[in-house]
């Protein structure tokens, strides 16, 4: 450790070269100091060192020198996806893991952004990755970590994430899920199945009928009997989604050229729950074709909405989850992925008890909401502007989300005292309204919010540490619950 300009900085030495982040005495910005072999870095020579800006180019060079700065496939181990819409949350995520999981049971995903989020924020996959790399270096995180290209919907979405070094790809084929198949009659189901892209599925209906309907499938404590109707409904509902997932998987295989990567299939953003028969069908078909599936995100019963706890009957959820875990145990190849997974405190213990370490929890906007909490506490005037932007843009921005938010329950900023503002971050309607208007809010106020967080880094880090330690604790406690 070195003391520079009143701040303590960690020095990392490797191969006769040292690397250190310090605070610039001129403008307070962070800069990298390289002493020794500075080839590949861009900066200014000063006093026997190269002083480098925390740029993308310098991040890539540093990543090539220090292997722990590279994300890697994490496989089916217990993992947690930390979304960071602002680019400043990773230090708090690391602090939460160190507080709640000192033994390192949870594998984190620090660089995680969906195609939709990047479009709304006008960020690129590379920018998200670079922010994560600098934070991982600054916090000296040396355990394995991943990077998630979230909600990939088309083959064309793949290339920028591969080029940026992502290792985990969440395929979202929800546009190809036939929700009407949930209630179609048999004649309609047969007609729909006749029209499936069987060449992409690399099978035919007769082969599937023989595989699924001739005898019951015995799982661990569960017996699945596929009738013809059950099979037709699963096929009609998910057949095109499977074909689309296989197409994107082929694109990924070509892009990686034999190198490993993690694959997730997500069907959580659909109208109807995924039955246990449908879960088995999806998993079996993907694994039969050698897809490198490490996690599946079914559509569970109940409501998984942004920024708030689970809504639904906990007993029903647990009964359904137990059946999904029976399928999970049977294949023993992947984990259950919990999408819209932030703030679902009432069901974390249930999930952890049943699935143990075979879980991936995916969060996105809750780190951004904690940033807004800091604004409410530290800069009420800025938060008032943010609140009014959210109120103004909610009707437009909510269109891609399933929400129970009633915006009329969110008071205007003028009706609140400064002391009342932080409590909005704990109020159901306000949390949802602020959550889904992130694109508009960060487009208009992102620069001011980032400046505020950079001026109060300990506040933001501590808020995230407390918030995510609460998320992680149940999964750490039950990490050994999944017994083969």
Strand partners, 21: 32
- Please, is 99 exposed, middle or buried when counting C-beta atoms within 10 Å of its C-beta (0-12, 13-18, 19+)? middle
What stretches of 178-247 adopt beta strand conformation (E)? 217-219, 222-224
Catalytic position from the list 84, 101, 148, 150: 150
Is 264 an active-site residue? yes
Distance in angstroms (rounded) separating the CA atoms of residues 41 and 39: 6
Measured distance CA(305)–CA(301) in Å, rounded: 12
Q: Which residues pair with 17 in a beta bridge?
A: 14
Q: Is the dihedral of CA 120, 124, 128, 134 positive or negative?
A: negative
Q: Residue 63: which of 2, 3, 122, 147 has the closest Cα?
A: 147
- Write the CA distances from 304 to 172, 195, 347, 429, 477, integer angstroms: 16, 32, 11, 15, 23
Question: Of 342, 337, 367, whose CA–CA distance to 355 is shortest?
Answer: 337
Q: How far apart are CA 158 and CA 139, in angstroms?
A: 29
Verify whether residue 150 is a known catalytic residue.
Answer: yes
Residue 2: strand pairing partners: 9
What CA–CA distance (Å, rounded) separates 233 from 186? 8
H/E element, 323: helix 314-331
Question: Of the residues 139, 148, 262, 264, which is catalytic?
Answer: 264
β-sheet bridge partners, residue 50: 34, 45
| Active-site annotation, residues | 150, 264
């Amino acid at each position: 450790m070195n003391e520079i300009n009143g701040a303590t900085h960690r020095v990392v030495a490797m191969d006769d070269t040292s690397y250190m982040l310090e605070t610039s005495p001129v403008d307070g910005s962070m800069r990298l100091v390289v002493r020794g072999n500075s080839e590949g870095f861009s900066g200014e020579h000063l006093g026997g060192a190269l002083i480098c800006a925390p740029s993308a180019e310098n991040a890539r060079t540093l990543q090539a020198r220090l292997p722990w700065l590279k994300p890697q496939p994490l496989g089916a181990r217990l993992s947690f996806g930390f979304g960071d819409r602002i680019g400043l949350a990773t230090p708090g995520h690391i602090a939460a893991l160190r507080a709640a999981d000192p033994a390192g049971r949870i594998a984190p995903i620090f660089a995680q952004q969906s195609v939709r989020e990047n479009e709304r924020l006008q960020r690129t996959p590379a920018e998200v990755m670079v922010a994560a790399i600098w934070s991982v270096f600054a916090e000296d995180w040396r355990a394995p970590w991943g990077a998630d290209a979230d909600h990939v919907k088309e083959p064309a979405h793949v290339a920028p994430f591969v080029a940026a070094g992502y290792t985990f790809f969440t395929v979202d084929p929800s546009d190809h899920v036939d929700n009407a198949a949930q209630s179609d009659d048999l004649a309609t189901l047969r007609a729909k199945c006749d029209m499936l892209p069987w060449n992409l599925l690399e099978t035919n209906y007769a082969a599937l009928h023989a595989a699924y309907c001739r005898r019951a499938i015995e799982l661990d404590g569960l017996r699945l009997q596929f009738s013809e109707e059950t099979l037709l409904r699963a096929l009609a509902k998910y057949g095109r989604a499977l074909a689309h997932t296989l197409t994107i998987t082929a694109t990924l295989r070509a892009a990686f050229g034999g190198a490993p990567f993690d694959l997730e299939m997500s069907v959580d953003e659909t109208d109807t729950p995924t039955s246990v028969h449908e879960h088995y069908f999806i998993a079996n078909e993907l694994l039969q074709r050698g897809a490198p599936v490490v996690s599946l995100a079914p559509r569970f019963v109940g409501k998984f909405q942004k920024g708030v706890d689970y809504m639904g009957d906990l007993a029903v959820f647990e009964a359904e989850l137990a059946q999904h875990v029976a399928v999970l145990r049977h294949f023993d190849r992947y984990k259950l992925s919990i999408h819209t997974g932030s703030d679902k405190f009432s069901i974390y213990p249930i999930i952890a008890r049943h699935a143990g370490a075979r879980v991936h929890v995916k969060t996105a906007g809750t780190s951004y909401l904690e940033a807004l909490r800091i604004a409410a506490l530290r800069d009420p005037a800025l938060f008032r502007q943010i609140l009014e932007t959210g109120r103004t843009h909610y009707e437009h921005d909510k269109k891609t989300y399933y929400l129970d938010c009633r915006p009329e329950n969110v008071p205007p900023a003028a009706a609140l005292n400064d002391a009342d503002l932080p409590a909005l971050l704990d109020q159901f309607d306000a949390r949802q309204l602020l959550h889904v208007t992130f694109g508009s809010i960060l487009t208009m106020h992102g620069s001011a919010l980032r400046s505020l967080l950079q001026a109060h880094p300990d506040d933001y880090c501590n808020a995230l540490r407390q918030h995510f330690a609460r998320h992680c604790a149940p999964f750490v406690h039950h990490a050994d619950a999944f017994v083969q």
